[in-house]
C-alpha cells in the first residue's frame, strides 16, 4: 500500500503536466485562467505545473497582460506558451531514387530541409543508410539544429510496415527498403526512429494539413510511380495485421487495370509507345533524345496535342477504375490523389468523376492534394510529433532549450 501511496503524487503530476502541454500545443500564448478552463485543474496546480515545465525547458513564461498592454486593473494574468524549440522532429521520405528529410519544431513548423539522390536503385543497404544519414545531418544544419536536439524521427518507405515497425518483404520491390535503417540511426545518434508506410503517412499528412482536414473517412492514393493508398476510417489509420492495409498489388487482378503502375509511370510508357509509331505529336519536341516525362504529356495536352490528350483519356480511365475499387471496398467519403503528379493530375478529376458512377455504386468526392511531393514528409512530421506528445515527460528538452 505504501508504494501505491508514494507513487500517486508522481502520477498526478505527470497527468497534470500532460494535460497542460496538450492545451498549449494547440494554441499560442495562454493565460493561467485559460489553462484552468482547458484542463479543469486548480489555479495553484496550474501555476505549479507551469513553473515546473518552465524549469525543464518545455514552456516559457511571457510578459503578463498588464505589461503586454491588455488591462491595467486587478491581478495581472500570467501567460505561458509551449517552447516550440525545446526539440525538433525529423520527417524522412525514402524513395527508390532519392531521400528527403525535413526538420520541424514542436508545432510542426518547417525549419530545415535537404534532399539527396541514391546512386542507383540497387545500392547496398550500408550505402543507402549513409545517404539517408548525410541528408538528415544536412537538413539539421539547414535548420540550425544538431543531432542532440532531435526528439523523434519518422521514416516513410514504400513497403508495408506492421504495428511493430517491421517491414513486410514478401515482394522484391519492398525488400529494397528493409535496410535496418531504424537500428542504424538509433546506433548512430541515439534517436527514436519510427518506420511507417509512405501512403499511410500521406493520409496522416493530408488529414493534418491537406485537403482532408476534418474528414473522418478518407483514402489518400499516392499515384505517381506506383499506386498505393493510406486509409483513414472513422478518424483512425488502418494498418492491417501485417501492415498491408491499403496496398494495391491487387490491381494486377482488376479488369482494365492490370498492374500497380502510377500516373507518372504510365504517362512515360504510353508516350514512348506513341513516339515509337508515326503519329505527329508535340511530344517529339518535348525532350529530344530523352525520355518524355509525365509533365511533358500534361503540358502537351494543355496545348491541345491529340496524342497527349489520348494519353490523358487513358489515364483518366485507369485512375477511375482504381478509385472505383477503393470506393467499392472501403466506401470513403473522400479520395485524395497525392504525390509528385498531384498538381498535374487535377485536370483528370472531372473525367474520372464522370466515369465513376458506372464503375461503383458508391462514388466518393475527389480532390488532389495541395501538399505536392511533400505529402509524405508532412505526414512523417505529424507521426513524429504524435510520439513526442505521447511521451512528453520521458524526453529531455534540455539540449535545445
Question: Tell me: the pLDDT tens digits for 196-221?
Answer: 999 999 999 999 999 999 999 999 99
CA-to-CA dists, residue 166 to 93, 226, 382, angstroms: 17, 21, 20
pLDDT at 284: 87
List, in sequence order, the alpha helices (H) in 250-391.
Answer: 263-275, 294-302, 306-330, 342-345, 349-355, 375-390
Averaged pLDDT, 323-336 = 97
DSSP tag of 391: S
pLDDT at 68: 55
Domains defined along the chain, listed by start: 2-82 (1.10.10.10), 88-204+376-394 (3.30.420.40), 211-370 (3.30.420.40)
CA-only gyration radius of the chain, Å: 25
Residue 167 predicted with pLDDT over 70: yes
In sequence order, the 6+-apart residues with CB closer than 8 A to the CB of 372 are 340, 342, 343
Strand 365-368's sheet: what is its strand order?
Answer: 236-237, 228-233, 218-222, 334-338, 365-368
Contact (CB, 8 A) for 124 and 92: no
In sequence order, the 6+-apart residues with CB closer than 8 A to the CB of 224 are 262, 263, 264, 265, 339, 340, 341
Residue 70 predicted with pLDDT over 80: no
Instruction: Give the residue, 345 or 350, on which the prediction is more confident.
Output: 350
Full-model pTM: 0.90
C-alpha span between 223 and 234 (Å, rounded): 23
pLDDT at 307: 96
Residue 345 predicted with pLDDT over 50: yes
pLDDT at 285: 83
Amino acid at each position: 500500500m505504501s508504494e501505491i501511496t508514494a507513487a500517486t503524487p508522481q502520477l498526478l503530476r505527470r497527468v497534470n503536466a500532460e494535460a497542460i502541454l496538450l492545451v498549449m500545443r494547440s494554441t499560442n500564448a495562454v493565460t493561467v485562467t485559460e489553462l484552468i478552463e482547458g484542463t479543469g485543474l486548480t489555479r495553484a496546480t496550474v501555476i505549479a505545473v507551469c513553473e515546473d515545465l518552465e524549469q525543464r525547458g518545455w514552456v516559457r513564461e511571457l510578459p503578463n497582460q498588464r505589461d503586454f498592454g491588455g488591462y491595467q486593473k486587478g491581478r495581472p494574468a500570467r501567460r505561458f506558451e509551449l517552447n516550440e524549440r525545446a526539440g525538433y522532429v525529423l520527417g524522412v521520405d525514402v524513395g527508390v531514387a532519392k531521400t528527403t528529410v525535413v526538420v520541424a519544431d514542436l508545432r510542426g513548423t518547417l525549419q530545415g530541409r535537404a534532399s539527396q539522390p541514391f546512386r542507383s536503385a540497387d545500392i547496398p543497404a550500408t550505402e543507402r543508410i549513409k545517404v539517408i544519414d548525410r541528408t538528415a545531418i544536412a537538413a539539421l544544419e539547414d535548420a540550425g539544429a544538431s543531432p542532440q536536439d532531435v526528439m523523434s524521427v519518422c521514416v516513410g518507405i514504400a513497403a508495408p510496415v506492421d504495428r511493430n515497425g517491421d517491414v513486410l518483404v514478401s515482394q522484391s520491390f519492398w525488400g529494397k527498403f528493409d535496410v535496418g535503417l531504424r537500428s542504424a540511426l538509433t546506433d548512430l545518434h541515439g534517436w527514436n526512429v519510427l518506420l511507417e508506410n509512405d501512403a499511410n503517412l500521406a493520409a496522416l499528412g493530408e488529414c493534418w494539413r491537406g485537403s482532408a482536414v476534418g474528414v473522418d473517412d478518407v483514402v489518400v492514393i499516392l499515384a505517381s510511380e506506383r499506386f498505393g493508398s493510406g486509409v483513414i476510417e472513422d478518424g483512425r489509420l488502418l494498418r492491417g495485421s501485417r501492415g498491408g492495409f491499403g496496398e494495391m498489388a491487387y490491381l494486377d487482378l482488376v479488369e482494365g487495370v492490370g498492374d500497380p503502375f502510377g500516373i507518372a509511370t504510365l504517362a512515360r510508357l504510353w508516350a514512348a509507345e506513341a513516339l515509337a509509331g508515326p503519329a505527329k505529336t508535340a511530344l517529339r519536341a518535348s525532350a529530344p533524345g530523352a525520355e518524355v516525362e509525365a509533365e511533358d504529356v500534361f503540358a502537351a495536352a494543355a496545348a491541345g496535342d491529340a496524342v497527349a490528350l489520348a494519353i490523358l483519356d487513358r489515364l483518366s480511365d485507369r485512375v477511375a477504375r482504381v478509385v472505383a475499387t477503393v470506393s467499392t471496398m472501403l466506401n470513403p467519403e473522400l479520395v485524395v490523389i497525392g504525390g509528385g503528379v498531384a498538381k498535374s493530375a487535377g485536370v483528370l478529376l472531372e473525367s474520372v468523376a464522370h466515369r465513376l458512377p458506372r464503375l461503383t455504386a458508391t462514388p466518393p468526392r475527389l480532390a488532389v492534394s495541395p501538399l505536392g511531393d511533400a505529402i509524405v514528409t508532412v505526414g512523417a512530421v505529424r507521426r513524429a510529433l504524435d510520439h513526442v506528445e505521447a511521451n512528453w515527460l520521458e524526453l529531455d528538452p534540455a539540449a535545445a532549450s
